C-alpha cells in the first residue's frame, strides 16, 4: 500500500507526560510494537527486543521526559526529551516514534510542540535531534520546527534553537478586586435586579 496517497486524518487520542512509574512499561511496550522499518528509523539501525527493553529501563531511570500519545489507553506515539547530562556535549537530545497505525494524523507535530514547551519550561536553550538519512518524515518534521540538519555518516543531525521558537502565550493576568469593590458590585447588581423585576411587574408605572 502506498501510504503517501492516504489523506491525513485528525488524531483522536490524547497526549500527556508519563510519570516515572509509567515510563518503563508504556514506553517499552510502544517501542516493541514498532515494525522493523520503524525500529530502524528510530534507532538508526536494526535492533532486537532485548535492546529495547534495556533502553526503556534506562530512560525510566535517567531523567528522560516522555510525552506520549494515547489511543484507547495504549501509547501509539512518544516524544523523548533526554537530559543534557546524558549527552557528551551537554545538549539535550530529542527523539520521536509513532506506530504505523497512528501516522498521518498530525501526531508527530503535536508531540513536537509539547516537547518544545517542556524544553522551554526546563530552561533549555537548544535541542539536538538525530535521525536516519532515509527517515524522510522525521527530517521534514524537524525542519518544520527549525532544525538545521546536516548529513554525516549515514545520519542527519541537527540543532533547534529554542530562542527562535514561539513560546506558549501566558494567560492574561486577572486584576485583584478589593472587598469594598466586591461589596459595591453586589449592591449595584441587586439594584439592577430589582429594577428589572419592578419593570416586568408593572410597579412604578404611571397610573
DSSP of 14-60, one letter per residue?
A: EEEEPPHHHHHHHHHHHHHHS-HHHHHHHHTS---HHHHHHHHHHHH
Spatial CB neighbours of 200, under 8 Å, sequence gap ≥ 6: none
Going from the C-alpha of 201 to that of each of 191, 195, 198, the distances in angstroms are 15, 10, 5
Whole-angstrom distance, CA of residue 19 vs CA of residue 21 = 5
CB-based contacts of 82: which residues, under 8 Å, 6+ apart?
59, 62, 64, 92, 93, 94, 95
- Give dist(CA 112, CA 119) in Å, integer: 10
Q: Convert the pLDDT of each residue in 133-156 to its tens digit.
A: 777 888 888 888 888 777 776 677
Q: At 192, is the pLDDT very low, low, confident or very high (cuts 50, 70, 90)? A: low
pTM, rounded to two decimals: 0.71
- The SS3 assignment for 79 reads strand
Please give the backbone phi and psi of residue 86, each rounded to the nearest 5 degrees, phi first: -90, -5
pLDDT at 187 over 60: no
Q: Which residues contact 103 (CB under 8 A, 6 or more apart)?
A: 3, 137
- The structural domains of the chain, with segments of one domain joined by +, span 3-164, 175-207
3-164 fold? Aminopeptidase (3.40.630)
Residue 198's pLDDT is: 52
Give the mean model confidence (pLDDT) for residues 21-47: 92
Give tens-digit pLDDT for 88-135.
888 999 999 999 999 989 999 999 999 999 999 999 999 999 887 777
CA–CA distance from 77 to each of 12, 135, 175 (Å)? Answer: 13, 16, 41
> pLDDT tens for residues 171-182?
333 334 445 555
For residue 8, with 0-12 CB atoms within 10 Å meaning exposed, 13-18 middle and 19 or more buried, which class applies? exposed
Amino acid at each position: 500500500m502506498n501510504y503517501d496517497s492516504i489523506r491525513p486524518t485528525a488524531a483522536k487520542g490524547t497526549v500527556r507526560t508519563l510519570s516515572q512509574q509509567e515510563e518503563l512499561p508504556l514506553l517499552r511496550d510502544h517501542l516493541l510494537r514498532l515494525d522493523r522499518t520503524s525500529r530502524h528509523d528510530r534507532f538508526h539501525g536494526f535492533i532486537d527486543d532485548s535492546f529495547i527493553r534495556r533502553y526503556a529501563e534506562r530512560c525510566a531511570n535517567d531523567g528522560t521526559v516522555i510525552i506520549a500519545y494515547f489511543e484507547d489507553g495504549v501509547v501509539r506515539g512518544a516524544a523523548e526529551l533526554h537530559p543534557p547530562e546524558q549527552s557528551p556535549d551537554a545538549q539535550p537530545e530529542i527523539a520521536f516514534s509513532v506506530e504505523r497505525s497512528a501516522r498521518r494524523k498530525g501526531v508527530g507535530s503535536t508531540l513536537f510542540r509539547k516537547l518544545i514547551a517542556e524544553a522551554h519550561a526546563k530552561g533549555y536553550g537548544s535541542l539536538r535531534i538525530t535521525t536516519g538519512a532515509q527517515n524522510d518524515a522525521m527530517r521534514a518534521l524537524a525542519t518544520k520546527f527549525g532544525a538545521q540538519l546536516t548529513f554525516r555518516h549515514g545520519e542527519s543531525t541537527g540543532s533547534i534553537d529554542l530562542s527562535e521558537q514561539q513560546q506558549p502565550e501566558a494567560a492574561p493576568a486577572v486584576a485583584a478586586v478589593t472587598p469594598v469593590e466586591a461589596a459595591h458590585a453586589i449592591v449595584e447588581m441587586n439594584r439592577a435586579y430589582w429594577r428589572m423585576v419592578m419593570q416586568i411587574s408593572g410597579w412604578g408605572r404611571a397610573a
